[in-house]
Amino acid sequence: MELLVFGLNHKTAPLGLRERWSFSPGESELALERISSAIADSEHLILSTCNRTEFYSAIPASSGLVRNLDQENSPLGELTSFYLGGDEENAGLDEHFYLYRQENAVKHLFRVAGGLDSMIIGETEIMRQLKDAYALSEKNSASGKMFRRLFPEALKVGKKVRTSTSISEGCITPGQAALRLAMEALGELTGKRALLIGSGVVAGVTAKALIE
C-alpha cells in the first residue's frame, strides 16, 4: 500500500484558494464516496479546516495513480483531478499543492496532530478536527486496517505533545491572539466594546476570549 497526503494549507495557498477548496462534512462525504469507488481496496480521509484541505489515502501500489507518481517529473495535475475533479478551474494549481508519501506522509500527519503545522503553533482545535475527519471516514466505510491504526496513533501523539511539552502555553487560538493584540494596543479592555465581523467557529472562539 502507498500512503499519500495531498493538499494545500496556509503556507502554500492564499485565503481565496483555501476557501474555494474547503469541504463541508456533506461535501466530504460525497468526495469520499467518489474517490473510494475509483480505486478498489483503498482508504481515504479528508481533513478540511479554515487553514488546510488535505486528502489522506492508502492506495494499492499496483494502481495506475501510484505508478504514474513514480514517473520522472510527474506533475501533481493527475492528483488534482482525482481528488478535486477534472474541471478546467483546477488547472494550473500544482504550485499550491504538496504531496507526501509513505514515511514522510506519517511525519506530516503527526506534525499536524501536534499543532506544529498550524498557523498558531500548538493550537488544540486541530485535534477535534482530526477526530471528526476520522469519524467521518469510518462512517462512510472509507477507512480500513491501515487508517484504523494510523489515525488513533496520530491523536495519541497530538495529546502527548501537548501534555509533555509547553507548546500549548500562551496563545493557542486566533481569538486569544487577537485578544492579546487588542490589549497591547488599547490596554485595559474593561468598559470597551468589540465588534466581530464574520461568523463561524473562529468568531465564536474570539467572542468567548473577549468576554472572558
**50 flagged as catalytic:** yes
- Give, for 163, the enclosing helix (H) or strand (E): helix 145-164
Pairing label, strands 43-48, 52-59: antiparallel
Let me know whether 48 and 134 are in one domain: yes
Tally of structural domains, the chain: 2
Q: Are residues 63 and 118 in the same domain?
A: yes
Range from 23-37, 95-109, 197-211 carrying the lowest mean pLDDT: 197-211
> Based on the domain organization, do 91 and 187 belong to the same domain?
no
Residue 39 lies in a domain: yes
Q: Tell whether 190 and 96 lie within a shared domain.
A: no
Could you list the residue range(s) of the whole structural domain that residue 69 is in?
2-164
State pLDDT tens for residues 61-74. 888 888 888 776 66
Structural domain ending residue among the three candidates 142, 164, 186: 164
| Catalytic site residue from 50, 116, 155, 157 | 50
Residue 54 lies in a domain: yes
103-113 and 125-139 helices, crossing angle to 10° = 130
Same domain? For 116 and 70 the reply is yes
Summarize pLDDT for 103-155 with one digit per residue, the tens. Answer: 999 999 999 999 888 888 888 888 999 999 999 999 999 999 999 999 999 99
Judge if 60 and 92 occupy the same domain. yes
Q: Do you know the residue count of the chain?
A: 212
Specify whether 180 is located in the same domain as 160.
Answer: no
The pTM for the full model equals: 0.82
Which of 112-121, 146-155, 166-175, 194-203 tops mean pLDDT? 146-155
Residue 9 grid coordinates: 494549507
